[in-house]
Amino acid sequence: MGRKPGSRIRQNIVEILYQIKQGYGYEIYKIYRKAFPKASMRSIYYHLRKGTQTKEFKVQAVEKSRGEYSWGGEAEKTIYALGENAAPRGDEKLSGIIK
C-alpha cells in the first residue's frame, strides 16, 4: 500500500496559482506562509517539482537574472502556472491575501 496520490500542500499551491495565474517558487512560498499552515520552503519546492510530474503545474518559463547574490552573480527563477490536471476549488482564504 502506497501513499495517496493527492497532497494538501499541492492543492494549496494550485489555489494560489489559480489566483495569481503564474509565479516563481519563492513568491508562491511567501503567499503560502501567509494563507495556510506552516510548510517549509523545501517542501513547497518539492511539491512544485512533483506537481509538474503529475501535470498539476507546468513550467511557464525559466528566467535568469544577474545580480550580486550570496551564491554568485546569477539567479534562475522557474515560473509555474496551472497544468492540465489542476483542479482549483476557489479558496476564499486567499482573496484577502492576494492583491
For the chain, the domains span 8-83
Residue 3 CA to residue 70 CA, distance in Å, equals 38
SS3 assignment, position 84: coil
Report, at the CATH architecture level, how domain 8-83 is classified: Orthogonal Bundle (1.10)
pLDDT for the residue numbered 71:
86
Q: Region 49-74: what's the mean pLDDT?
A: 93
What 8-state DSSP symbol labels residue 37? S
Give CA separation, 73 vs 26, 52, 64, 95, in Å: 18, 28, 10, 36
Q: Region 25-49: what's the mean pLDDT?
A: 93
Question: What's the pTM value of the predicted model, to 2 decimals?
Answer: 0.87
Question: Percentage of the chain with pLDDT > 90?
Answer: 69
Q: Region 71-98: what's the mean pLDDT?
A: 87
Residue 97 CA to residue 94 CA, distance in Å, equals 5
Q: Which residue has the higher pLDDT, 42 or 90?
A: 42
CB 12 within 8 A of CB 35: yes
pLDDT for the residue numbered 53:
95
Residue 49 CA to residue 33 CA, distance in Å, equals 18
| Residue 67 pLDDT grade (very low, low, confident, very high; cuts 50, 70, 90) | confident
pLDDT of 16 strictly over 90: yes
